[in-house]
Structure formats: structure tokens, C-alpha cells
Chains A and B, each alone.
Chain A
Amino acid sequence: MNWQRLLRHPSLVIGLGAATAFALLGLISLVWTPYPIEQIVVARRFLGPDPAHWLGTDHLGRDMLSLVMSGTLTSFLVAFSALVIGVGIGVPMGLAAAAWGGAVEWLVLRISDVTFAFPSVVIAILIATLAGPGELNAILAIGIFNIPVFARVARGGALAVATQDYVAAGRLAGLGNAAIAARHLLPNIASLIIVQATIQLSLGILAEAGLSYIGLGTQAPATSLGLMLRDSQSLFLIHPWLGIVPGLTIVLIVIALNIAGDGLRDALDPRLRREGLNHGAG
């Protein structure tokens, strides 16, 4: 693939650009925010947007722009870490299933079945009862949920590739299952994985919001977009702004990621369209 080809897909450019912009906004919060987010000054709460506080202040007098920056980072971080878990465990599982077949494949599918039987909210509830709520809980819950998704994508894609001539040639040349998986299957399903990863990233951000909303995700004094939404919920009729800011941020990030995913899919492999990659997996 080359960049020029990618740039021919405007939705990819817009989506990726917007998503990157949000991610950067979050990353900047690591080194700088207009105000420290732990700094509570009750006397200056519920300020509207003004030059000192571009997005106003929240119910504890914290600067909303700083919170959005830091919250965006948390949301991305949770979704991304969950993605790493899903890809890191799910893809090898799926590849192993395709390359070895037989008992390995059976086992992988059964593990997927069991994992899939636990909706992420349920995993989150179980983990939270054990270890208490927090970002780590959200990461694990969403991450575990991602595993069967990637296992199936990897296995499905690998099986489609496995029938092709060069794989047979490799096998004739004496390559073992592991080598076949690493050298032939993995590179050929990379684009499939990347597209699914974009989708799971956006789902992860939504899932983090949902978990934080029911109190299982990020906890104060850290913040996330979902937690900001939760904190502002009861104040919505009085200070709707406090809910609109994080709500809109979530919506925009998710749209950006989804558009980027659509664009990537078209750009990387037009055939993927028909494989019906879906958002239903969240």
C-alpha cells in the first residue's frame, strides 16, 4: 500500500485526521493542561466559557478543557489497552486455530464461545466485585471481550488465505505450522485486523463511557469522558453544558474512528466490504 492510494479516500483522511487530533489533545494532557485537574476550587464552579476557562468549569470548579483533555486520554488509553489485550491474545489464538486445525482449533473456538458468553458489562461487574472499580477493571473487561472478536477475525481471514497457492507452496517447502502462520497468514490478514481494530477502538471508547457511567470504570480524581458524563447527569437540567461537552466529545471521537474504519476498509482491501465486518460486536 502507499500513501497516495490511502489519500484518495476522503473519509479515511477526515476520520483519521479527527481521531488523531483527539488523541493528540489527550496526549498533550500528559505534559500540560490549562489547569491541574485535581485542583478543586469550589468557589469558581459552574462558570460558563470565558477567556480564563475556554469550556467553563465543572461542579467542583475544575477547568472543563483540562478535564476533557485528560478524560479523552483516559478514554483512548482504556480503549487502546483493551485493544492490545484483544489483538495480543486473540490474533495468535485465531492464527493457531487456522494453522494447526484439529484439537487446537476446537479449543480456540470453545474458549471463544465461553468468553463470548460473558457480555463486557458482566465481566466488568465480576471484576469490580473482586478488585473494585477503576480504569484497570474497564481495560480488562473490554480487553477480555475483544479476545474472541479478534480470534474469530484472525481465524476467518487466515482460513480464507490458507487455501491459496503460496501457502501450499510454503508448506511444500517444509515450513511448519508456526512459520506458515507467521510468514504467510499474519501479513495477509493484517489489513483485516487493522480495520477491526479501528472498530473495536471506537467500541472501547463507548464501552468505557458505559462502564464509568454505572460506576465501574474510571474513578475520581482521575477522569474520563464517561465519568464526566456521569457526574453531569444529575445537573443536566441546571447546567446542560457540563453534559454536552463530554457527550459531544464521545460522539465525535466515535464517529471519527468509525469513518476512519470505513475508509481504511475501502482503501486497504475493497474485498473486505463483502466480508461484512460489523459493528455488532460491541
Chain B
Amino acid sequence: MLPKRATNAMRHLPPCGGGREGGQPRPGFPVTLFILRRLLTFAATLFVAALIIFILLDLLPGDPARFILGINASEASVAALRTQMGLDAPAHERFFGWIAGMVRGDFGISATQRVAIGGLIAERMAVTLPLTMMAMVLSMLIGLPLGIVAAMRRGKPADTGLMILAQTGIAIPNFWFGMLLTLVFAVALRWLPTGGFTPWHENPGAAFRGLILPGLALALPQASILARVMRTALVDVTGQDFIRTARAKGLTRSEAIWRHGLRNAFLPVLTILGLQFAFLIAGTIIVENVFYLPGLGRLIFTAVSERDLTLVRSATIVLVLAVTATMFITDLLYTLVDPRLRRQNA
């Protein structure tokens, strides 16, 4: 039987990539129950993701003990280290041990680095999260005004120019753009460091400066997308009745867009932002390599090349958690912001 579903909420949701239509509260559905259901889905998603990661990594070829001891180590040394690292327990014990540990906040001990993984991940998140936020803010600071300007100058050279710029921005690989940025702003002009990261507690200013260029590299394609979405959203609302009414009341088109259009263009933009956070987090993995930032992505990379199973799976699940949590929060925000949904839920 086909669901007889009201699809008006869908009109503002992009039908692709993470728009959570399925989770939208239906008319008369209490908000708390909705949140609870989403929370449950969120937890189930994480559990399944953890299972997938574990199964994949459990099959992993390569012996971490052999890696640590290297090319000329004796079999006896390798076997001794393997036992010491607890690689002999059965798979299901190791899986549930891992999950139970994480719930307690204990991520285990890194095989190669021999320190608590929880601390390692926390250190890296102190780079990756701010970097993602930086990219997010930069993409909004760049993308939204440009989108607004383009919408206001619709059809004029400024609009065309900006949209060509946006097309190019989407098309440039971010790692390549990052390198070009470094050459200009770090090597030639020496305004900013070429990379590396000073811990926040040591010098917050230096830490911030270290994130600007990688943030820009990450932000460029996202800003371009935002500019396009913003422009389209604004162009759309300007065709709608309330703008026409406003203009009839004597406002210019720009004024009408400023006063009424922006608020209505907010929903599609919010959806994109939620999506972008997830993509930015993933994008950091590549960009961290260009700027030698000690982020979560580089941690995973190193751990993979060192066959540090416990570290790879814990770091990966944290990354997955970050993505899933963002989607979850976007969902919640969405229900709070959309006036229609609020009315329905009241």
C-alpha cells in the first residue's frame, strides 16, 4: 500500500543525501516522541556501523606485532608481543569488549603507540573539530553574501561572474587549492604558517592562525555550493506572493529580499549546512595531509599503515559518530525552525 503522506514538508528538503524525510514528525506526532525515535535510530545506526567496522578490520591482513618489531625481529619476539597485546581472544569477545569499553569511555590501548586511545582521539578532535568549524564559518562568510549579491544582481554581469566563480570553486580539488594557498600566503607573503599546529593551551592565537589556510581550502567548494543554493533559494522566493506584496507596498527588490526573502531562504541553506558539516569532517582527512595537521584523519592514516587495529576502529567510529550526530542535530534543528512543522506539532 502506498503511504498517503503529506509531502509539503518535502518541498524544502533536498531529496538526496541525508534529507531525513522519513524521520519527519507527522501531524499530531509529539515532538518528544519524535526526538526519542530519532535518538533510537541514531544509536542503532552507530551500533551497525561499529559492527561493520569491526568485521572489516577483523579480517585485516597484517600483523601489528610484526610491524612494531620490524624487519629483522625474531618469531619469538613477535609472538611475545602478540600475546601481550591481547590479539589471541575470540572475535565476539573482542567486539563486545570494545563496545562495552567505549560506552564506559574506555577506548583501549593503542597497539603501536601504547597509550590510551581515548586521549589520542581527544587530542586529534581538538584539531579536527575546530578546523571543521573554521571551514564551516568561512564557507558561510564567503558563500552566503556572494549568493545574496548574485540574487540581487540576477542576470547582471555580477551575477554571471559570481556564478562562474562558484562553478570553478566547486571544481578545484581542495588539496590542490590548499597547496596553491600555501605558496601564496605562507611561502611568498609569509602571512600565515605553512602548516603544523600549536596546541590551543600553548598559544590560542597561533593555533587559530594555523587553521586559517586549511580552513580556506576546505571552505572553497562548500562556499561555492552555498552561494549557489542561497542564490537559487532567494530567486525562488522572489517569485512568491509575499515578495510581490512587499514590492507592491513600495519596497525595491533588494529591500524585499532583505526583509522577507532571507528568512524563507534559510531552510534550504540549513539543510545544506548540516550536510556540509559531514563532508567537511571527511574532507579534513585529505587536507590535514597537505598542512601536516595532527587531526583525526592523519591519526587514522598512520594507524592503518601501522596496522593498529584498535586505534583504526575507534578513530573511525568517532568519525562516524561525528557525521551521524550532525545529521541528528540538523534533523532536530529543522523541526524547531520550520514554522509549518511547529504548527503541526503544536
Residues of chain A at the chain B interface (Cβ within 8 Å): 98-99, 101-102, 105-106, 109-110, 113-114, 116-122, 125-126, 128-130, 148-150, 152-153, 155-157, 159-160, 162-163, 167, 171, 180, 192, 196, 202, 206, 209-210, 213-214, 226, 229, 233, 236-237, 243, 247, 250-255, 258-259, 273-282
Distance (whole angstroms) from the CB of A254 to the closest CB of chain B: 4
Residue-wise interface mask of B (164-189) relative to A, using a CB-CB cutoff of 8 A (1 in contact, 0 not): 00011011111110010001000000
**Given A118-B49, A156-B15, A276-B229; A101-B301 close (CB under 8 Å):** no
Contact B176 A247 (CB under 8 A): yes
Interface positions, chain B 242-273, Cβ under 8 Å from A, are 268, 271-272
Given contacts A116-B327, A236-B179, 20 further A-B contacts (CB under 8 A): A101-B1, A106-B22, A110-B44, A116-B278, A117-B45, A119-B323, A121-B283, A122-B285, A122-B300, A122-B316, A129-B60, A156-B16, A157-B15, A229-B173, A253-B171, A274-B11, A275-B11, A276-B229, A276-B268, A278-B225
CB distance from B128 to the nearest CB of A (A): 12
Among candidates B44, B53, B301, residue contacting A214 with C-beta atoms closer than 8 Å: B301
Q: Is the CB of B15 within 8 A of A114?
A: no
Q: Closest approach, in angstroms, between the C-beta of A64 and any C-beta of chain B?
A: 17
Q: A126-B57, A153-B16, A156-B16 are in contact. Are A280 and B275 (CB under 8 A)?
A: yes
Q: Is B59 an interface position by the 8 A CB rule?
A: yes
Please indicate the chain A residues that have their CB under 8 angstroms from the CB of B22 in the complex: 105-106, 109
Is A280 within 8 A of B17, CB to CB? Answer: yes
Task: Say which residue of A116, A118, A121, A274 sits within 8 Å of B285 (CB atoms).
Answer: A121
- B16–A110 contact, CB under 8 A? no
Cα–Cα distance between A254 and B225 once the two chains are bound (Å): 14
Whether A255 touches B173, Cβ cut-off 8 Å, given contacts A105-B22, A273-B232, is no
Evaluate contact between A250 and B173: CB separation under 8 angstroms: yes
Evaluate whether A119 and B281 lie within 8 angstroms (CB atoms) in the complex, with A126-B56, A258-B170 already known.
yes
Interface of chain B: mostly helix, strand, loop or mixed? helix
Is the CB–CB distance between B17 and A281 below 8 Å? yes
Q: Which A residues lie within 8 Å of B41 (CB)?
A: 110, 113
CA distance A252 to B171 in the complex (A): 8
Residue in contact with B18 in the complex, picked from A98, A121, A152, A155, CB distance below 8 Å:
A152
Q: Which one of B2-10, B144-152, B206-214 contacts A?
A: B2-10
Docked-complex contact B323 and A117, CB < 8 angstroms = yes
A280 touching B60 in the complex, CB below 8 Å, given contacts A121-B286, A213-B173, A254-B170: no
Q: For B222, list chain A residues within 8 Å (CB).
A: 280
The CB with the most chain B CB atoms within 10 A, among A117, A167, A252, is that of A117
- Minimum CB–CB distance for A184 against chain B, Å: 11
13 examples of A-B residue contacts, CB within 8 angstroms? A102-B3, A114-B45, A121-B286, A129-B60, A130-B60, A155-B15, A163-B4, A251-B168, A274-B11, A276-B12, A280-B225, A280-B279, A281-B16
Q: Are B228 and A279 in contact (CB under 8 A)?
A: yes
Do A156 and B2 contact each other (CB < 8 Å), given the known contacts A119-B282, A206-B173? Answer: no
Chain A residue nearest to B163 in the complex (CB):
A262
* Bitwise interface map of B from 202 to 236 toward A, beta carbon under 8 Å scored 1, else 0: 00000000000000000001100100110011001
Interface size on B, residues (CB 8 A): 75
| In the complex, B21 has a CB within 8 A of chain A | yes
Whole-angstrom distance from the CB of B223 to the nearest CB of chain A?
A: 12
Task: Kindly list chain B residues whose C-beta atoms are within 8 Å of the C-beta of A233.
Answer: 179
Flag if B173 contacts A210 (CB, 8 Å).
Answer: yes
Query: What 9 A-B pairs have minimum CB-CB distances, sorted nearest first?
Result: A156-B15, A119-B282, A281-B17, A254-B171, A109-B22, A280-B275, A101-B3, A153-B16, A251-B171
Q: How far is it, in angstroms, between the C-alpha of A180 and the C-alpha of B2 when the chains are bound?
A: 10
Q: How far is the CA of A230 from the CA of B204 in the complex (A)?
A: 33
The residue among B170, B228, B312, B320 with the most chain A CB atoms within 10 A of its own CB is B170
Binding site for A on B (CB under 8 A): 1-5, 7, 10-19, 21-23, 41, 44-46, 48-49, 52-53, 56-57, 59-61, 167-168, 170-176, 179, 183, 221-222, 225, 228-229, 232-233, 236, 268, 271-272, 275-276, 278-279, 281-283, 285-286, 289, 297, 300-301, 304, 312, 316, 319-320, 323-324, 327
Q: Is the CB of A130 within 8 A of B281?
A: no
Residue among A128, A229, A279 making CB contact with B225, cutoff 8 Å:
A279
What's the nearest-Cβ distance from chain B to residue A98, in Å? 8
A residues near B320, Cβ cutoff 8 Å: 117-118, 122
Q: Give the CA-CA distance A258 to B163 in the complex, in Å.
A: 12
Q: How far is the CB of B85 from chain A (nearest CB, A)?
A: 18
Whether A160 lies near B304 (C-beta < 8 A) is no
Bound-state Cα–Cα, A97 to B3, Å: 10
**B324 is contacted by which of A109, A117, A259, A278 (Cβ under 8 Å)?**
A117
Contact B16 A149 (CB under 8 A): yes
From B2, B233, B278, A276 is in contact (CB under 8 Å) with: B233
Q: Are B16 and A277 in contact (CB under 8 A)?
A: yes
Hey, which chain A residues are within 8 Å of B19, CB to CB? Answer: 152, 156
Enumerate chain A residues within 8 angstroms of B228, measured Cβ to Cβ: 279
Interface pair B59/A130, CB less than 8 Å apart: yes
Cβ of A159: which chain B residues have Cβ within 8 Å of it? 3, 5, 7, 10, 21
A83 → chain B closest CB, angstroms: 14
Which one of A110, A129, A278 lies within 8 Å of B272 (CB-CB)? A278
| Bound-state Cα–Cα, A213 to B301, Å | 13
